Amino acid sequence: MGGTVEARQLAERLCADPRLHIISSLAGRTNQPASLPGEVRVGGFGGIEGLVGFLRERKIALLVDATHPFATQISENAFEAAMNAEVDRITLLRPPWRQNENCRWKEFENLEAVIGALPRGASAFLALGSQYVSAFSRCGGIEFIIRMADEPVKPPFASCTVVTGLPSNEIEKEQALLAEHGITHLVCRNSGGNTGFAKVEAACNLGIKVLMISRPTYSVREPLVETVESVVRFIGDAFPRRQPMDLP
């Protein structure tokens, strides 16, 4: 279950092993997802029951939930479905970002709390999933610049500017973008991982206030690991080694 950099890296690692058949599952949210090795399926399963059916039909031996830390519904579904279908499951969840002496922010429990904290007159850069941005439409007196992966059919709300593209890993590029738009506040989620932290560092370098939404508080289920390498090790430990000829 993918949609993350880590899920792609894992697919690349595991597809190199001829004894394994790897299926990556994407929700289909982005128009041009990065190419993946192995089998790829796209679109929802139709809830827990649909996923149970898929796991049984495809005789899945292990479900790796490598979805985004804020994709809570699919993780709950993956947990329930794997249990119902009696399929082994492991969660790959990258650790959240931590503050350091150069990079500080204020954490908020949810979107509502962030919206309440934005002052009138701010120029806010929203680096959030597209499903989260419409809630900001009711904020008066604030200029919003919204970064979206794909050009939207229409802007999320009238009084905003959309910047299309993915976040850069280069702090200088993120700094240039924030400066170009005269940003005073950066709103983002504590997604963790290497991709995405450059914007936070860029904002801190420029003295821009960072409003960070904390990780959701849903219960993350064990077994849980933080790195691609750990999943590879888990597979090596959990499944007896088979010869290529054993495979279908």
Binding site for ligand NAP (CB under 6 A): 1-4, 25-27, 29, 44-47, 50-51, 67-68, 70-74, 77, 129
Decide whether 22 or 184 has the Cβ nearer to ligand NAP: 22
Q: How far is the CB of 83 from ligand NAP (least distance, A)?
A: 16
Decide whether 33 or 155 has the Cβ nearer to ligand NAP: 33
Whether the CB-CB separation of 193 and 90 falls below 8 Å is answered with no
User: Phi-psi category of 96—alpha, beta or left, where left has phi over 0 and alpha has psi -120 to 50?
Assistant: beta
Decide whether 132 or 234 has the Cβ nearer to ligand NAP: 132
* The two structure tokens encoding residue 31: 């128009």
Whether the CB-CB separation of 188 and 127 falls below 8 Å is answered with yes
The partner residues of 25 in beta bridges, in order of sequence, read 41
Whether the CB-CB separation of 68 and 7 falls below 8 Å is answered with no
Whether the CB-CB separation of 80 and 18 falls below 8 Å is answered with no
Q: How far is the CB of 108 from ligand NAP (least distance, A)?
A: 16
Q: How far is the CB of 168 from ligand NAP (least distance, A)?
A: 16
106-108 and 88-92 strand pairing: unpaired
Considering all CA atoms of the chain, what is the largest pairwise distance in Å, rounded to the nearest integer? Answer: 67
| Residue nearest ligand NAP (C-beta atom) | 44
Q: How far is the CB of 238 from ligand NAP (least distance, A)?
A: 22
Whether the CB-CB separation of 93 and 220 falls below 8 Å is answered with yes
Q: How far is the CB of 53 from ligand NAP (least distance, A)?
A: 11
Decide whether 58 or 242 has the Cβ nearer to ligand NAP: 58
Q: How far is the CB of 180 from ligand NAP (least distance, A)?
A: 25
Decide whether 128 or 203 has the Cβ nearer to ligand NAP: 128
Decide whether 42 or 247 has the Cβ nearer to ligand NAP: 42
CA-CA-CA-CA torsion sign (186, 189, 194, 196): negative
